[in-house]
Structure 1
């Protein structure tokens, strides 16, 4: 029986010189049949594992991702945990889940083409960690604050008393819409101010789309979602600032969640 054809499953790339300081320890690859290995191309080292070509070719892989949820969850978790482990040891440019090359030669060609970009990325992310911040809001305390402290809304509420029932109904709906507008404005200004302060201790930042309750499964609405690339010596300052803001604003219905450190997923693509 002939040997099975293999593809290359790429986890990430690291600088070669860092492997001299921290030798690479092979681990079981995503298919549990091959151990991960390293291929070097000049100053760039690719951390990869071989996988069965038949199982990881385009249509077969696409079908597996769609139909085999257990495999997908297990494999995605494996990929993520490998990257977390590598990131603790090396300046890692992480690859997306199921980054496949057909041959060693095609991988080498790609890395040679991108060598300058890769070296620039190594410099950008060296000694840094990615941290995510999600800000949630309980609208009720904030809505009450808007009602109590907006002069225009207080004035309109007072005007309601002198209106007929029919007119009062329609004017109340207008006020409700005004309150919702003020609420969103208040939330945006608050989150943008927090983001501006956190950006002071970050090297780079990106604002992401806030997730809906359907995605988070939370009772509170997500008002903000952002990621920060932070030098290791600034992480404590970042987390202290998040904690301070969380404590200061908790009574107003705000909740902050910082998670990390992650590989620099959002700053290498």
Structure 2
């Protein structure tokens, strides 16, 4: 998710709430869709190329809405750095994580982003975490521990590369978020999203085409539908809806609303991929969500 400057408003907008719901549900559904697509395409090629096409489409939407897409000369270095972290790191690491993890596991680990923001904001921004946030951090880490430890030591070792990739992706997004707060990117929101997605996905796509062997011609109908979803829904529809929500809702409401993403991801993975939805998954999801929700409200 791209970080933007948000003009918080005190009133609730039905359109804002509807757009927030669309964005959260769309991003949540993307986890099982990504997981299925890995049975037909390697992760870096598919996610990198879909991101580039999505960025071009977002740029066209920004121009259509009258937003400038020109980047000031002094902004390029920080824009590239933040894009590589926030988008490139997330796209690459989460795609690789799904090679070892179930979609539901990846969705729960992905929602840990606000917790890493709290940790990184301390040394970078000087924002010392309060006692409440420290407790919520421990609560959420407890939920992640439940998720990681399920199935015994051997199962945890089998999932370890995926867990490390997923956490690395979350930390990359958190790092980009903190750097954006330290060095603000003064661009209109849709233009900023288009540039960040494009700049972040280009190296991912290049690495994928160099290291992987994608066979797009062999894609099934479901495979092509998954690519279209990742390109148009994940990168375009969801981002447009997210920015509409940010314009019409208080920041806290929008942030807490995104907690719907892992819930949708876990439930959709159970329905679409028949992944288990047992007591361990429910406890891990509930505890992690509770910790993040408390951190966002404190």
In the superposition, the TM-score normalised over structure 2's length comes to 0.21
Between 1 and 2, higher relative CO (CA 8 Å, sep ≥ 6) is seen in: 2
Relative to its length, the structure with more strand (as a share) is 1
Relative to its length, the structure with more helix (as a share) is 2
In the superposition, the TM-score normalised over structure 1's length comes to 0.22
Greater Rg over alpha carbons, structure? 1
